[in-house]
Each structure stands twice: as structure tokens, then as C-alpha cells.
Amino acid sequence: MNLRSKKAEVFYNVEPYPFTYDPSTPFIQQAADWVADVFYELLPEAGFEVRDEQIYMAFQLEKAFADKQTIFAEAGVGTGKTLAYLLYAVCYARYTRKPAVIACADESLIEQLVKPEGDIAKLARHLELIIDARLGKSPDQYLCLKKLDQARIQAKADVNWEEIAAGLPSFVNSSAPMQAFYAYGDRRNYSQLNDEQWNTINWDPFQDCFTCDRRHRCGQTLSRDHYRRAADIIICSHDYYLEHVWTYEGRKREGQLPLLPEHSSVVFDEGHLLESAAMKAFGYKMKHATFEELITRLLQNEIRESLAVLIDEAIVQSEVMFNAFGRYNLSIAGSDRREIVLTETLLDAVRRFRNLISAIEEELVFEGELYTLDHYQLRIVEEHMEMMQKALLLFEQPESTVISWVEDSPEGLILSVMPGTVKEMLKSQVFHLRMPVVFSSATMSVESSFRYLADSLGIERFLSFSVDSPYAYQAQMEVLAPLWSLADGFDGKMKEAVRLLGQTGGRALILFRTREELRQFKENVKAEPMLGGMSFYYEGDSEISHLISAFQQEEESVLCAVSLWEGLDVPGPSLANVIIWSLPFPPLDPVFNARRKAVADPFQEVDMPYMLLRLRQGIGRLIRSRDDSGIVVLMGEELRTHPEVKEKVISVLPKGARLKS
């Protein structure tokens, strides 16, 4: 989204601030005075309903920006927290001449910010501001030209890949200089593809972009060049921001620009999800096929026999090592991930492979001095081997400091390795910087304390505040815990869900804990005649913002999702029923298993806090305005089998809401 034009350039150069700046007075103090005018005068005059909680939040943010500190800003649903942090972020960006970064938990949250009727557009329109806000989407949200070519060759019957290729801009396949650029290849532009089909042609971590002969016409590359020039705001995902942090030093060594430019502040919207994103970003993924393809490039050059022998041995040992990973693992119920079991045989295979890589690295020093290798190709191979060394070295550390698993793929086993904690990396690369860092969410505290989140992220000093939602939940929301025979299992729960969907005529969001639960529900809906007149939209069947839009426009419909516990904002009659299919306890996957092993009481210290935070988010999807009303249905069996869980759930319900059986 770019709200600037030629006129905007003139405006920005002549009058960068929305107020008259006095150099003799601290800038943030002047910005705070303007923010006060916005909330007390400008927005009410434009017809906005300004809330006391919103004004309180704005003045708390003043201190974080003035002192360049980290702040946990917990503000209930309907507070208008986005407008509050946008005002400071834009002003501070113009003062420092560096854009602010707003990092959202997922793509649906990004869409909420940048859509034509979203918060940035509202702010620009009602305050007569011209805001330069640009998207920095994650790489996997872009089409990969190489993978599209492969899909066309394979010519799978389920999708017309030729039609997609024909719809690409003309400059993509032209060698002529580009006179103009416009964004293309975004996941949002291919809403007809389900997630599995999209994964056939989108970027993935195993793509070798550095040697791609089409990278200068790639939608991802061109979009990156575009957003780097943003004057006010860059909007990206948590994943992408942390990828920037993780690759910052490596890209500098390679002579590449960092993924994000130098910035003045960062806002982590739905900041309680940052740790999970960090663990994902700071990890490594490896495949035998990728290593073999890269390392054999060296054999295409004139190299000494000793190096050629080592390369052959490394390829064989890589296969041995991956076979060992394929043998020594444990399946996890409800997950495609299989947790690695560190046996001596496996560790010996890892050591042998690492030793061969070290020997190759030493040989490459001599080869580099002989100038027989292509320097660019050599650098790519060296970077990949260095990545593998770092990842596999984690297996030499105590078991508690490494999290690892394997997954199957069409090209063979994928090994994922990540550090057991992200505290130190975040502390040194993000939170030590003299920069305002805002964590914004309706749910960050556990029993009125932010210590749980702060400790997990390595944050030692911070500001914090909490304000409740302004909504009258006692009148607007009814929270139900249906009673059905637990002996009937899934069938009993399904029967109850059908009754409740009929009660509200659809108009429902059903949140599932796992994709397996969603799949099972989807299969059984077909056999329910009472649901025949309702439209059902399932996450994964299409691009997520397309599904949300269709749900919002068709009132008697049902949206079924796994990831929309946060970020979904559907005010009005389209949403009158939120069904929590299961209490959102964390999965039994390697990441959470590692957290459980690190504490004395895994249920109380890991599972329960995670569930309560996520549950509060899910409940918050229902009431999005003062005119909304409806029911929240909690169908977790634990509410009936574990009194302690029920007590905790009741304690986190919105103020005024009561649980009814």
C-alpha cells in the first residue's frame, strides 16, 4: 500500500511533521501534544468515537518513545490501540528520517492494517496526512518463477499452470530494461489456489536465489527494493522481521543489503506470539538433495583430486546421516513432525559428516588461491556449508539446548534444527538497541504479570500497562459450555455444534486447535442435512484474506480456521457465534516438548499459560464494536473433567462475562 504520490513528495519535503516543530523543545513532547489534539479534537470532529482507554495508552507510549524503551501495551479489544501506536510511529519516523517497522503476527493482521478501509487509510483520511506505508511480505508469500516453470513441465492436471504463467507481467520474460515496475506474484493474487497448490509454486527455504538468473525480475526481489524506500512505515510479519535479525550479519558479509533498512522503532502487534516466531526464524532446514546439488557444482570446475574425493565422501556420508535421522525418531500424535532421538550411532554419523565438511572447507582455501573456481559459486557453497556446520554443531551441545525434528517431503527427509532458547539472540540483536519497541496485544499478561513473556524473550527492563476493553460484555456476550455425553466422543460434539450453528443461522467462526480437527469436522459436515443451506469456508482451501472477505459478505456462512485466533476483525451481523472446538493447549511437538523438559511443572508453567493467552484471543474475535452481540461456545472436554482448568478459564473471561453450562 502506498499512499504517496508526486504531491506527497512535495508535502513530505516541505512540512514533514503534522504540527509546527520547535527545535528548542523536545520532539516527543511536541508529538505528544499533537497526539492529545488528535484524540481530544481532530478525531471527534471527524466522527470517531474516542475512548478513555485509547487516550491512556497514547500517553503511556509517550514515555517509551521519549526514553527509547521497550513497553508492553496490553489493551483490550476495542481500545483502538493501533491508531495510538501509529501516531507516534509516523511522527518518530519523520523525526529520525528512518521508517518505523510494524511487525504483525501473520498475513491476516497485515491485511487488517493495509486494506482500503484499514487503520492506516482511516488515519490518513481523517487527519489529512499522506502516509508512506509499504508492505514487506515474507518470501513464502511470493510466487517463485523457477518453481512455476517446474510445475508447468510436470503439468499436474489439478491446476492450469500455463494460465498462471500467461498472467505474469510482460517485463518478467523480457530482457529489455524495465521502465516501470508494479507488484506481482503475491499470494493474495492467487486466491483460487489452495495452500497445497500454492506450495507447489511459492518460494521455499531451499530455493537458491543467489544463482537464479531470474532474480532481477522476481516479484519478491522487486517488492523488497520497493519497500526499502518507505519514508514512514514498513509493515511485515514477525517471521520476516526475525529473519532480518537472523540474517543481518551474514548478508553484510556477503555484501548484500539487510532484509529491512535501518529503522527508528518497531511495533510487535500481537507481541505475545513473538517467541514462537523467533524460534522458527532462528532455526535451520536441511535436505540431502539440496546439499548434493550444491556441492557437486564444485566438480564442474577444475579442482584437485583430493578435493574431488572429499566431495564424493561427503555426499555418501550425508546420505548415511540423513538415513540415520530417518531411523532414530519418534512419531508425535497429531503432527507431521517426528522428534529426533539422539543415539550414539546418530551422533557419530553427524560427527563424521561435520569432519568431512571441515576438510572440504580447508581444501577450498587452497582452491580459492588457485582461482580455478567461480568465485560467486564458491561463496554460495561455503555459505551453505557454514550453515550446516552451525546447525549440526548444536547436536554437540547439551540436549536441552537443541530442538530437532524430521518431516517427509517429495524430495526426501527434511531436517529442522533450532536452538533451545532465543533469549540471548533477541537480547543482543533487538532489545539492546536504543530504540522504542512496542509490544501490542489484548493478551500478554499472565495473572496480571508480564514476567512470563519478558523472561521468554530475554527482556530485563521494560515499561508496561493494561487497560480493559470498553465493551459491555455482560450485555453483549454469552459464554456457553455445552453438556453432551463425553462417551459419544466426536459424534456427540458434532451434534452439539450442529444445534448451535442452527441457533445462530451460521454467522459463526469455528476455531480448531489442530488441522486434523478441522479436517475431521470438514468430512462430517457433508453428512449433516441441517447444515445444507450454509456455506462453509475452510482455512487452506483458498488464500486467507479471500476466505475472510467471502465470510464477511455472506452472512449465513461459517468460517473454519486453525490460525485465526488472532487478527480476525469482523464487526457486524456476519459473526454472532464463536465456537472454540477444543481448548487451545499447545501441541505435543518438539518445540513445546523442549519447553516442557526445561521446567519443573510443564502443565502449569507451559501448557496452561499458553492455552489461557490463546483462549483469550479466540474469545476476543466475537465483540468488535459496541453494537455486536453473540455467543462464545467452549467445547473443551477439560472444562468438565478438570475443575482446575475450568476455574482458570473462568478467571480469564472478559470482565462481566459469565460461563453458563
The tens digit of pLDDT for each residue in 362-379 reads: 988 887 666 566 776 777
The mean pLDDT of 606-635, rounded to a whole number, is 94
Q: How confident is the model at residue 430 (pLDDT cuts 50, 70, 90)?
A: confident
How far is Cα 317 from Cα 352, in angstroms, rounded to an integer? 7
pLDDT at 168 over 90: yes
Beta-strand ranges (E) seen in 422-462 are: 437-441
The mean pLDDT of 54-71, rounded to a whole number, is 93
The mean pLDDT of 327-351, rounded to a whole number, is 91
pLDDT at 470 over 70: yes
Query: Which residues, at least 6 apart from 257, have a Cβ–Cβ distance to it below 8 Å?
Result: 228, 251
pLDDT of residue 261: 95
pLDDT of residue 574: 95
pLDDT at 113 over 90: no
- Helix (H) or strand (E) holding 318, with range, is helix 305-327
- The chain-wide mean pLDDT, for the chain, equals 88
Better pLDDT: 216 or 68: 68
Query: Which residues, at least 6 apart from 561, have a Cβ–Cβ distance to it below 8 Å?
Result: 509, 510, 511, 512, 518, 538, 539, 568
Q: How confident is the model at residue 118 (pLDDT cuts 50, 70, 90)?
A: confident
Q: Within 10 Å of residue 11's Cβ, how many Cβ atoms? A: 14
How far is Cα 150 from Cα 430, in angstroms, rounded to an integer? 39
Q: What is the pLDDT of residues 642-656, one digit of tens each?
A: 999 999 999 999 999
How far is Cα 132 from Cα 130, in angstroms, rounded to an integer? 7
pLDDT at 12 over 70: no
Q: What is the pLDDT of residues 72-110, one digit of tens each?
A: 999 988 888 888 999 999 999 999 999 999 999 877 778
pLDDT of residue 332: 84
In 3D space, the residue among 647, 501, 524, 520 whose CA is nearest the CA of residue 576 turns out to be 501
- Say if residues 341 and 329 touch (Cβ distance below 8 Å): yes
Better pLDDT: 620 or 212: 620
Q: Which pTM was predicted?
A: 0.83
pLDDT at 9 over 60: no
In 3D space, the residue among 464, 508, 442, 507 whose CA is nearest the CA of residue 655 turns out to be 442
The mean pLDDT of 32-45, rounded to a whole number, is 92
pLDDT of residue 371: 58
pLDDT of residue 506: 95
Better pLDDT: 160 or 115: 160
The mean pLDDT of 50-73, rounded to a whole number, is 92
Q: How confident is the model at residue 581 (pLDDT cuts 50, 70, 90)?
A: very high
Q: Is the dihedral of CA 491, 497, 500, 501 positive or negative?
A: negative
pLDDT of residue 372: 65
Q: What is the pLDDT of residues 390-411, one digit of tens each?
A: 999 999 887 667 889 999 988 8
DSSP of 612-653, one letter per residue?
Answer: HHHHHHHHTTS--STT--EEEEE--THHHH-HHHHHHHHHTS
CA 10 to chain centre: 35
User: Number of C-alpha atoms within 13 angstroms, CB side, residue 385?
Assistant: 26
Beta-strand ranges (E) seen in 49-163 are: 70-75, 100-104, 133-136
Q: How confident is the model at residue 157 (pLDDT cuts 50, 70, 90)?
A: low
pLDDT of residue 72: 96
How far is Cα 286 from Cα 407, in angstroms, rounded to an integer? 11
pLDDT of residue 492: 93
Residue 657 φ/ψ, nearest 5 degrees: -80, 145
pLDDT at 7 over 50: no
Q: How confident is the model at residue 8 (pLDDT cuts 50, 70, 90)?
A: very low
pLDDT of residue 326: 96
- Which amino acid would we find at residue 584? P
